[in-house]
Amino acid sequence: MRRCFQLFWLFLANGYLFFLKDSKIYQGPIKGICVPFLNCYSCPAAVASCPIGALQHFLSRIRPSLKVGIYQFGLFVIGGIGLIGILVGRMVCGWACPFGLLQEMLYKIPSPKFHLPPFLRFIKYGVLIFFVFLLPILIVDKMGYGQSWFCRYLCPVGTLEAGIPALFLFPSLRRQIGLLFFNKVFILSVLLVMMVLFKRPFCRLLCPLGAFYGLFNHVSLVQMEVDKNRCTKCNLCYEKCPMGIKIYEGPNQVDCIRCLICRDVCPFQAISLRMSLGNSHKGGRLGTCRN
C-alpha cells in the first residue's frame, strides 16, 4: 500500500515525459506549485517545483527585491509546507518522498548493516537553519543577490534528478562542469553507498525538509499512539523501523515518518495512528485495518 503511494507520487511529480522528444524541461503553469517533498524542478521530467529550492530562491533575492518594492519572502512555500506539517507531520517522508523510496530500495541490497549514532541527526537542523535560511540571506554578491546554498553545494536529489540527466540531455553542458559538480557527485556517491549500509541516511542526517516537518510531529492532526499496557518493548518495531527509532520511547518523536511499519509488525497491536482535533482521549483511530 505504502509503495503504491510512493510510486504514485514519484510519477505524479515527475510525469513530464515529453522531454525525451523535445529536449526541454516542463514550462507550464503547474511549476508554480511546490510538491511536499524534495524534487528538483530542474529535473527534465519534473512538473512541479521543489519547496526548499523555491524558498532559497526567494530568500537569496530578498535584498534587491526590497529595494525595488517587491515583497516576496517565500510565504507561499512556508505556508504550504507548514500546512502539510500541521496536518500530517513527517508522514510525507514515509509515504510520498521519491528519495525516501530510493533509500528504502537500496537498503534492501544484502550487505552488512550498521547503526547511525543518534547525535548525528542534529546535523539536519544545522542544514535547515544555515544552508536554507541564513546563508542565502547573509552572504550576497555586489548586487545583493545570495545563492541557493543547499541546492548548490549539498542537495543530492538535484544531482541525481537534474544534474546528471541534464548532462545527457544537453551535451553542451558537459564543457561547463567543474569542481562544484564533482563535489556534488561525490556527495551523492557517498550517500548512495551509505543507503545500502544504513537506514535512510539522507533523511536522518541531512534533509532540511524532513527536519522542518519533524518539528510538527508533536502537534500535527495525525498522531501515533502506543498502548503502554500492550507494549512489551520487544524491539521488533525498532528492528524494522526505517528511521531507527524506538517508538515506545515517544510515539511522536521528530524523526518518526509515520510509515506504519511498526504498527504492522507489532504482534501485540500496541501501536496505532490516530486523527485528532482534541485532547488525547478524543478523535478517531486510523489505520486499524491491516491490509
Partner 1 sequence: MKLNKIRIGLIFFFLFLIILGINLGEIREIIKKGTQICLSCIGIR
Is residue 163 within the footprint of partner 1 (CB under 8 A)?
yes
* DSSP-assigned beta bridge partners for residue 271: 226
The two counts, helices (H) then strands (E), for the chain are 17, 3
CA dist 154 and 239 (Å) reads: 30
Residues 219-238 contacting partner 1, CB under 8 A: 219-221
Among 11, 20, 72, 118, binds partner 1 (CB under 8 A): 72
Q: Which is nearer to partner 1, 177 or 196 (CB)?
A: 177
Rounded to a whole number of angstroms, the minimum distance from the CB of residue 148 to partner 1 is 5
Minimum distance, C-beta of residue 29 to partner 1, in the bound complex (Å)? 6
Q: Which amino acid is at 291?
A: N
The Cα–Cα gap between 261 and 104 comes to 12
In the complex with partner 1, the residue whose CB is nearer, 9 or 58, is 58
Among 125, 130, 133, 181, binds partner 1 (CB under 8 A): 181
CA-closest candidate to residue 3, choices 237, 206, 242, 247: 242
Q: Does 214 bind partner 1 (CB under 8 A)?
A: no
- Angle between helices 51-60 and 75-88 in degrees, nearest 10: 140
Of 161 and 255, which has the nearer Cβ to partner 1?
A: 161
271, three cell numbers = 501501536
Residue 172 binds to partner 1 (criterion: CB under 8 A): no
- Residue identified by cell 510509515 is 259
DSSP 248: G
Output the smallest distance, CB 137 to partner 1, in A.
17
Q: Are 115 and 201 in contact (CB under 8 A)?
A: no
Residue 286 φ then ψ, to 5°: -110, 155
Angle between helices 179-197 and 98-107 (to 10 degrees): 50
Q: How does DSSP classify residue 222? A: E
Closest-CA residue to 113 (of 234, 203, 195, 204): 195
Smallest gap from Cβ 110 to partner 1, in A, equals 32
| 20 near partner 1 (CB under 8 A) | no
Contact flag: residue 26 with partner 1 (CB under 8 A): yes
The answer to whether 71 contacts partner 1 (rule: CB under 8 A) is: yes
User: Which position among 13, 25, 106, 128 is part of the footprint of partner 1 (CB under 8 A)?
Assistant: 25
Instruction: Fill in the per-residue mask, 87 to 106: x = in contact with partner 1 (CB under 8 A), - = not in contact.
Output: x-------------------
Task: Tell me which residues touch partner 1 (CB under 8 A).
Answer: 25-29, 31-34, 40-42, 46, 48-49, 53-54, 57-58, 70-80, 82-83, 86-87, 147-148, 151-153, 158-159, 162-163, 166-167, 170, 173, 176-178, 180-181, 183-185, 219-221, 277-279
